[in-house]
């Protein structure tokens, strides 16, 4: 498969946001119309979008339902959706609205193994499992059952349980400054490869991250999701796709 470059759309209050971490906790609004942003990415060549309901992450149930529904109805490219999907009913509602994949967060997966196993058995490839790491261990709020579990052990366990795709993130680098943790992403991809799983990377801040990650496609890293770098102007979608095509096994903005 081509190496995938996946634009991110973070939703809060029905708007598209670029999150800025720091002492101020500031947020920068990008656009009032999520459908317009989604169409711009599609017109620029994206074959898939990554949509996150930020309010849903905070509250625990989807909160940007109209915006997500409009994106799914009015944009022709596949969309993967996450944020507050903590029950089968909520997850199935998004899938039935047309989502190509759903993303289950690290915290939700850690909270309820039975829920994850049921979703994997029912939907397999349509499930993306969040794998948030901090200093090599699972970073999940309220995660107490396996508080000392390494992120690699977490991935191996879930890959053996049927997870086919993970979204890896280094929580220590989610400031949009330090870039992707290439070494940790590769180690995680190698850890889950024996179970037949693949990995989407995150934390890209510029062309060099895309170049390095695309070159690792043979090791199980199938794509990257990119948000801050696109919205902040450090990288264009066209450039990301071009770099991935040069360094990977052919690329799709997916």
Q: Point out the catalytic residue in the list 32, 33, 118, 132.
A: 132
Intra-chain end-to-end CA distance of the chain, in Å = 11
- SS3 state at 124: helix
Would residue 10 show up in a list of annotated catalytic residues for this protein?
A: yes
Would residue 152 show up in a list of annotated catalytic residues for this protein?
A: no
Query: How far apart are alpha carbons 126 and 110 in whole angstroms?
Result: 19
Query: How far apart are alpha carbons 243 and 57 in whole angstroms?
Result: 32
Tokens linked to 113: 């193994």
| Contact indicator for 190, 210 with CB cutoff of 8 Å | no
**DSSP result, 145-191:** TTTT-BHHHHHHHHHHTT--EEEEEEGGGTTSSS---HHHHHHHHHH
Residues 6+ apart with CB under 8 A from 99: 72, 79, 80, 81
Residues acting as catalytic residues: 10, 132
């Amino acid at each position: 498969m081509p190496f995938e470059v996946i634009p991110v759309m973070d939703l809060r209050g029905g708007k598209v946001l670029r999150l800025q971490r720091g002492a101020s906790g500031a947020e920068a609004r990008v656009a009032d119309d999520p459908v317009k942003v989604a169409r711009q990415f599609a017109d620029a060549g994206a074959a898939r979008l990554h949509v996150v309901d930020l309010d849903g992450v905070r509250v625990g149930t989807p909160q940007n339902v109209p915006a997500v529904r409009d994106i799914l109805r009015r944009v022709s490219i596949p969309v993967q959706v996450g944020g507050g999907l903590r029950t089968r009913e909520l997850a199935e509602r998004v899938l039935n609205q047309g989502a190509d994949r759903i993303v289950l967060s690290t915290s939700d997966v850690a909270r309820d193994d039975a829920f994850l196993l049921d979703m994997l058995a029912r939907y397999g490839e349509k499930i993306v499992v969040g794998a948030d790491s901090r200093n090599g261990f699972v970073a999940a709020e309220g995660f107490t059952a396996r508080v000392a579990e390494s992120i690699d052990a977490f991935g191996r366990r879930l890959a053996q349980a049927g997870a086919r795709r993970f979204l890896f993130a280094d929580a220590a680098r989610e400031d949009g400054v330090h870039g992707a943790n290439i070494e940790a992403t590769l180690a995680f991809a190698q850890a889950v490869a024996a179970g037949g799983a693949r990995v989407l990377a995150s934390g890209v801040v510029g062309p060099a991250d895309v170049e390095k990650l695309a070159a690792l496609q043979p090791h199980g890293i199938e794509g990257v999701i990119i948000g801050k770098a696109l919205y902040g102007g450090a990288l264009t979608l066209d450039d990301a796709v071009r770099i991935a095509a040069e360094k990977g096994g052919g690329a799709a903005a997916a």
